[in-house]
Chain A
Amino acid sequence: MAVFKDTDHLYETLGGFWKFLYDNDAFSGALKKADLTIKFEISDPAAVIWVSPDGIEFGEKSAKADVTMRLSADTCHAYWKKDISLPVALAKRKIVSKGNIAKVMKLLPVVKPAYEFYPQYMAKHGL
């Protein structure tokens, strides 16, 4: 069974989690310093999340991403829960990325605490 019921549910939970991350100065500061825009093209349910120095936005828009990641909603969930690692997800084609993945790795130090917090955040939303 899919983790997220539908697109609205995904935006509310996973999208909310990204907004929570962005509200952290260390994370938004790192995004601004890297001048990095990431577009997540999510399937099952279909959704688009933009993570950029300007904030977190949902849905298609005419902007250019530095890195685009195509993945399922369940893979998103598994990644944050540390059930699947980035290299394994990339190798197994669970994440298809376009753009400089090294730029994304720049964010890893600042998102480190988020991995610990993710299960709590999702538990609050019944996941």
Chain B
Amino acid sequence: MAYDYTDLQQGDQIAYTEDHEDLKKSVRKFVAEVIRPASIELDKMSPDDVVKKDSPYWQCMRQMHELGYHTIFIPEEYGGIGLDALGLHIFFEEMAFGSIGLAVACGVDVFPTFFAAMILPEFPELEDSILRPYVADKDCSMLGCWAITEPEHGSDILTPFQAHFHNPKISHQLVGKRDGDDWILNGQKAAWVSNGTTATMALLFFGTDRSMGLAGGGIAIADLEEKGVSRGKPLDKIGQRDLPQGEIYFDDVRVSKDRVVCDHEAYENMTDLVLGAANAHMAIMCLGGARAAFEETLRYSRERIQGGKALCEHQDVQRKLADMFIKIEAGRQLSRNVMSFNLYNFPPMTGYSMTSKVFCSNMAFDVAQQAVQIFGGNGLSKEYLIEKLFRDITSTRIEDGSNESLTLAIGHDILFGEKPY
């Protein structure tokens, strides 16, 4: 048996242009002026205050909509910005540099509308009911989320093609029942739904056939302002406190057939496809967070005097900074290559997206940990930003699939996947 890796250079290699440079500059400016200050303020607020309509969270989301940042995945023909893979990478690295939480909020916002655009040929009415109004939305009256995890299902519901996914004893807690062509939904989604307490619509994963286990599911573009939908209390978390998360409850909620992306026939494959896209993006968020920790540390090391000289003049600090830099650069190259490959190849090589997410989140954690060490006692104090960055980064090793579960899935993919190594 011949062994071979997938050469990610087969993905479309996009030349870095002036447009990319301009994008980087404009997002960087927005992040410095709006995202980072808001994120710091939100971090100190209670979860209930974060979701209040006049909070910095809503101000940020509204400004993102005004700038069209909610349309970066929507083609220009529909009025969107429609960034290429490199543009998306630059965008999310810069956004996450300012705040991983608000970058995630921006990323999941587009999920329902992006899928609506994909099924337009079948359901053209979605153009007027979702796509066009969302693209035109400037005041954030339309906001999306990705609702997949459930109280009893976290990483397991994200990792298809394994034995647990077909175990009839493990099934969705949000259950759909057919009513003619429509679905009636009952149950709940987990407290971990990003934008869960604020979104008006969701790319919603639900159970359709318990006998198939988690593979018996469907995906819908659900209106969260429908009768029967209610929300849980905003979650109080260690980090990414600027990202509102909370349960969504469904009590006899009707979803019409023109809002259903797929049923159990394609559910498992579709989950894989969505995970492939989500993990590729999550890796970039980690990279942005790591760079924020690194740059904060670099600046501090030039200012802070210890032992009679600036920290950066100590050889061991230089070694640590170099180590952080090396890790970040490796993370950027991996996450860019995976993004280019998987955004332009369907079905995506989801194992590589998971690899990128696991690598970049572990890398970000290592960088943040070293950063705190360089800050010394100050790194443990809320007075310094690095303490917040460390807490924000800690979450990334669990969100979008815990690294342990994803690593097991990568192992499964290497040995038994579509293209075994």
Contacts and interface: CB of A to CB of B under 8 A. Distances in A.
Contact of A85 (B75, B118, B269, B344): B118
Chain A contact-residue range equals 20 to 34
A91 B273 contact: yes
A101 B75 contact: no
A73 to B, nearest CB: 18
Given A82-B121, A95-B346, A90 B273 contact: yes
B333 interface: no
Given A88-B270, A102-B75, A108 B262 contact: no
Given A85-B121, A99-B344, A91 B75 contact: no
Interface in B260-282: 261-262, 265-266, 269-270, 272-273
A105 interface: yes
Interface in A97-120: 97-102, 105-109, 111-112, 115
Contacts of B73: 102
Contacts of A97: 345-346
A126 interface: no
Contact of A100 (B77, B84, B265, B272): B84
B187 interface: no
Nearest to A86: B118
B84 A91 contact: no
B416 interface: no
Given A91-B266, A100-B84, A109-B77, A85 B346 contact: no
B266 A101 contact: no
Given A87-B261, A115-B121, A92 B269 contact: yes
Interface class of chain A by DSSP: helix
A34 to B, nearest CB: 9
Contacts of A88: 261-262, 265-266, 270
Given A85-B119, A88-B262, A91-B262, A106 B347 contact: no
Chain B contact-residue range equals 20 to 34
B82 interface: yes
A86 B266 CA distance: 12
Interface string A69-98: 000000000010010011110111101111
B384 interface: no
B318 to A, nearest CB: 42
Contact of B121 (A30, A90, A95, A112): A112
Contacts of B345: 97-98
Contacts of B78: 109
Contacts of A105: 75, 77, 117-118
Interface in B119-153: 119-122, 124
Contacts of A85: 118-119, 121-122, 261-262
Contacts of A109: 77-78
Nearest to B418: A93
Most A-side CB within 10 Å, residue of B77, B85, B119: B77
Interface string A45-85: 00000000000000000000000000000000001001001
A114 to B, nearest CB: 9
Interface string B344-355: 111100000000
A96 B270 contact: no
A93 B347 contact: yes
A100 B119 contact: no
Nearest to A111: B121
A96 B347 contact: yes
Contacts of A92: 265-266, 269
Given A91-B262, A93-B269, 4 more contacts: A85-B261, A97-B345, A105-B77, A106-B77
Interface of A: 30, 79, 82, 85-88, 90-93, 95-102, 105-109, 111-112, 115
- Top 4 nearest A-B pairs (CB, nearest first) are A91-B269, A91-B270, A90-B346, A88-B266
10 contacts: A87-B115, A90-B273, A91-B269, A92-B269, A98-B344, A102-B73, A105-B117, A106-B82, A109-B78, A112-B120
